[in-house]
Amino acid sequence: MANPLLPRVEAAAARLIYALPRPIRRLIAGKPIRLDGQELALDAQLLLRLQQVGKSSMSQDTPELARAMLAESQHLVSGKPIEPVSTRELTIPDDNDGIPATLYTPDGLPEDSGLLVFYHGGGWVIGTRASHDNTARFLARYAGVRVLSIEYRLAPEHPFPAAADDAVAAFDYAYAKAKDLGADPERIAVGGDSAGGNLAAVAAQVTTRRGGPAPAFQLLLYPGVDASVRRRSRELFGSGFFLTDTDMTWFIDHYAPTGVDRTDPRLSPLLAKDFSGLPPAYIATAGFDPLRDEGEAYGEKLREAGVPVAASRQSDLIHGYVNFLGVGTRFREAAAEAAGALRLGLAGIN
């Protein structure tokens, strides 16, 4: 049985390392890393060095092992719970066993606020509401919105399109029950990081194309939007920058195994034929991320279709940065920009 004190000790050690004088942190991290005209932030490089010491990887021999390792390590760099934010557990009814969800409400937020339906990252295979708890809290508090964080079904037990179906069902629930959730039904955004960004983009496309209620805004954080091809950024940053080429192959093979059409827009929303009429979007990419180029290509597709887009490359960061809120300062700065974009994206909608 794992020692319950170990994660606390490791988290405290990480905070101590980040509190060291900059010259010492640079000595631990090593010489600055420059690639593709970008320089990796010291906070990110130091995290990668600590990851090398721990020999951690998101992909493992089995999904069960990968999930267990994430559960053990998720609090190492996420930071102390952001307060004051209240939570309420609920279940979204569907045709299966229901979708568990958590509603986050910052203290003092009035009724009829904006609401973000949030889909966690983890390659559709790992990740939970718990692994992204502080990310949801951060967005709720600093964007001034309610956040409905969804526990969608994971692969390989539930392969494509289960997660995509849950993403759409969650938005539909949020819209139908907006008043019960304390939200304005016309100020509901969808958003997520990585695989969660994929699901948010899919939910926006599906709801827009069918007619009827659709999101008012998209918050897409380093999203995976094309499972059909390899882009230059995957070749450049596929090793040594947290999310690896091996991880990406492992994730997609579990979510979309042999026989799945990987050009299906519900899996690869970048390949949709029509982008017109989609909600305004904030799309953040990380400079040292294998997913960088496809996320930026998605922003171009939206822009070409006349959709308002704020595209932001965090050129000095790595994949996953909105989960690293407990160490350094650079990750929180990038997350704060996303929260500000969400606040502005929902503020002017009546």
Task: Provide the token pair at 59.
Answer: 């992909």
- Measure the CA–CA gap between 200 and 210, rounded to whole angstroms: 16
Average pLDDT on 118-136 reads 98
Q: Measured between alpha carbons, how far is 306 from 304 in angstroms, rounded to an integer?
A: 5
Locate the domains of the chain by residue range: 73-346
CA–CA distance, 296 with 313 (Å, rounded to integer): 8
pLDDT digits (tens, 9 = 90+) for 252-276: 999 999 999 999 999 999 999 999 9
Report, as an integer, the average pLDDT of 46-75. 85
- The string of pLDDT tens digits covering residues 248-258 is 999 999 999 99
pTM: 0.96
Q: How far is CA 129 from CA 87, 154, 192, 227, in A?
A: 12, 12, 11, 24
- List residues with catalytic annotation: 194, 289, 319
pLDDT for 9:
73
In this predicted model, what pLDDT tens digit does every residue of 86-114 receive, in sequence order?
999 999 999 888 999 999 999 999 999 99
Q: Report the mean per-residue pLDDT for the chain.
A: 94
Q: Which amino acid is at 316?
A: D
Picking from 8, 138, 143, the residue whose alpha carbon sits closest to that of residue 83 is 138
Q: Quote the pLDDT of residue 3.
A: 46
**pLDDT by residue (tens digit) across 186-201?**
999 999 999 999 999 9
pLDDT for the residue 15:
87
For residues 328-341, give the mean pLDDT: 98
Which pLDDT belongs to residue 106? 98
DSSP annotation of 128:
-
pLDDT at 74: 79
Superfamily (CATH H level) for 73-346: Alpha/Beta hydrolase fold, catalytic domain (3.40.50.1820)
